[in-house]
Amino acid sequence: MKAGIVGANGYSGAELIRLLLNHPQIKLEMLIAHTNAGTDIQSIYPHFDGIVERTLEDFDADELAKRVDVVFFATPAGVSKHLLPDCLNHGLICIDLSGDFRLKNPQDYADWYQKEPADEALFGDAVYGLAEVNRRRIEGATFISNPGCYPTAALLGLAPVLKNDVIDMTSIIIDGKSGVSGSGKKEVLSNLFCEVNENVKAYKLGRHQHTPEIEQMIAQMSGEQTAITFTTHLIPMTRGLMCTTYANLKQGFSTRELLERYETFYEKSPFVRIRPLGSWPATKEVIGSNYCDIGLNVDGRTRRLTIVSVIDNIVKGAAGQAVQNLNIIKGWDEQTGLGFTPIYP
């Protein structure tokens, strides 16, 4: 199967290249990057020297239709809404890593992204590619919207307790911490080494665009509309993302009981690992891999549950999850090409 990547010069695009090179069913055929068209990928990313040497091309849906079967959009918000429809029309499998097609309600997109939403004909059509939750909907789909990095960690952390009256749905608080690669390869002040290093910064309080995405999926999974508090922090590291999620328990569950529930819930999900009682994951323990590791703690004094979930934001939070989705679409083993052991230390 042949693949094209739009936005191949960004960090998620480069990671897609790394992962797809390792995929036995995929041949990388087109690397597309509007701003660097005509340049060789290895001159932008010398780490690809001798591994993948290919000239970046400009976007052309007709050309894509001729040469590839699947297109990954690793583009900033606001780009795929213009380019992806043509590819869908050409019958290509489209996997969008941006936020353009994640929300079901165009007004939410307009409000939280402060951009024009995609054409209504298409808006809401994408299958939300959170494989562990939506696996059946993904099978055979042709249009996938890949989850955001924060929603991936937050929702995988919450999914097993969203049903059966386990938690008070109005009490959910998600405290997110992310490495800087989550904000992409952008030459802006807030991404400068001197601004990030030796620093922790809270940002976009009350207005992070991943909020409605998380709430939408909580509603899908729980059947209840709820508003969450979601706070994001920039941490001095390149890769890695943690969500520390808090919720009040409706009943007096023990940590052990909930761990069992998580183990059962994720029994058939090879990329989710549950930590044993009294231990919680660190981001470094999943770096370079497609894992989401989860640890729990119930505080008996407050009857409150704390969930710690971690991912590599560029793998499970972007490129890895996209490949996982393709595997499911095609009926391949979900782990095909994704058997990376985390790199430690």
Q: Which residue among 123, 250, 280, 330 contacts a copy of itself (CB under 8 A)?
A: 280
- How deeply is 344 buried, as exposed, middle or buried, from its count of CB atoms within 10 A (0-12, 13-18, 19+)? exposed
What is the residue whose two structure tokens read 């919680």? 280
Q: How far is the CB of 143 from a copy of itself (least distance, A)?
A: 29
For 7, other C-beta atoms within 10 Å of its C-beta total: 28
Instruction: Tell me which of 11, 109, 150, 265 binds a copy of itself, using CB under 8 A.
Output: 11
Of 204, 207, 202, 96, the closest CA to residue 148 belongs to 96
| Span from 63-71, 89-97, 113-121, 282-290 in contact with a copy of itself (CB under 8 A) | 282-290
Q: Token pair for residue 245?
A: 């999620």
For residue 331, give every residue at least 6 positions away whose Cβ sits within 8 Å of its Cβ, in sequence order, or none: 139, 140
Q: Does residue number 341 form part of the binding site for a copy of itself (CB under 8 A)? A: yes
Smallest distance, Å, CB 304 to a copy of itself?
A: 5
| Residues from 249 through 278 that contact a copy of itself (CB under 8 A) | 270, 273, 275
The yes or no reply on residue 310 touching a copy of itself (CB under 8 A) is yes
* Among residues 34, 76, 246, 250, the one that binds a copy of itself under rule CB under 8 A: 246
What minimum distance in Å lies between the beta carbon of 121 and a copy of itself?
30
**Binding map of a copy of itself across residues 57-86, x = CB under 8 A, - = no contact:** ------------------------------
Span interacting with a copy of itself, options 124-132, 134-142, 153-161, 237-245, rule CB under 8 A: 237-245
Q: Does 213 sit near a copy of itself (CB under 8 A)?
A: no
Which member of 94, 149, 243, 292 is catalytic? 149
Minimum distance of a copy of itself from residue 261's CB (angstroms): 18
**CA–CA distance, 179 with 175 (Å, rounded to integer):** 14
Alpha-carbon gap, residue 132 to 144, rounded angstroms = 14
- Decide whether 96 or 293 has the Cβ nearer to a copy of itself: 293
Nearer to a copy of itself, 85 or 240 (CB): 240
CB of 125 to a copy of itself, least distance (A): 27
Which residues, including other chains, have CB under 8 Å from residue 288's CB and lie 6 or more apart? 239, 312, 315, 340, 341, 342, 343
Q: Which of residues 188-207 bind a copy of itself (CB under 8 A)?
A: 188-189, 191-203, 205-206
User: Exposure string (b/e) for 68-101, b if CB count within 10 Å is 16 or more?
Assistant: bbbbbbbbebbbbbebbbbbbeeebbbbbbbbbb
Binding footprint of a copy of itself, residue count (CB under 8 A)? 85
Closest CA to 296 of 283, 312, 307: 307
Structure tokens given for 130: 């959170």
Which 95-124 positions form the footprint of a copy of itself (CB under 8 A)?
Answer: none
What three-state secondary structure class fits 80? helix
Distance CA 343, CA 108 (A): 38
Nearer to a copy of itself, 98 or 181 (CB): 181
Cβ at position 6, least distance to a copy of itself in Å: 19
Q: What CA–CA distance (Å, rounded) separates 97 from 13?
A: 10
State the Cα angle at 253 between 218 and 243, rounded to 5°: 40
The least CB distance from residue 318 to a copy of itself, in Å, is 13
Residue 87 annotated among the catalytic residues of the structure: no
3-state secondary structure of 79: coil
Q: Could you say which residues in the range 21-50 bind a copy of itself, by CB under 8 A?
A: 21-22, 45-50
Q: Which of 39, 107, 139, 227 binds a copy of itself (CB under 8 A)?
A: 227
| Residue 312, both tokens | 């590599």
Residues with catalytic roles: 149
